[in-house]
Amino acid sequence: MEIKLDEKNFDKEVLASDIPVMVDFWAVWCGPCKVLGPIVSELAKEYEGKLKVGKVNVDENNAIAGKYGIMSIPTVKFFKGGKVVGELIGAAPKSTLEAQLKLIM
Report which of 78, 27, 31 is spatially closest to residue 57, judged by C-alpha positions: 27
Is-catalytic flag, 24? Answer: no
Residues with Cβ < 8 Å from 62, sequence gap 6 or more?
none
In the sheet where 75-80 sits, what is the strand order? 2-5, 52-57, 21-26, 75-80, 83-89
The residue from 23, 33, 64, 97 that is catalytic is: 33
Is-catalytic flag, 33? Answer: yes
56, 10 Cβ separation under 8 angstroms: yes
The residue from 21, 30, 43, 101 that is catalytic is: 30
41, 54 Cβ separation under 8 angstroms: no
Residues identified as active-site: 30, 33
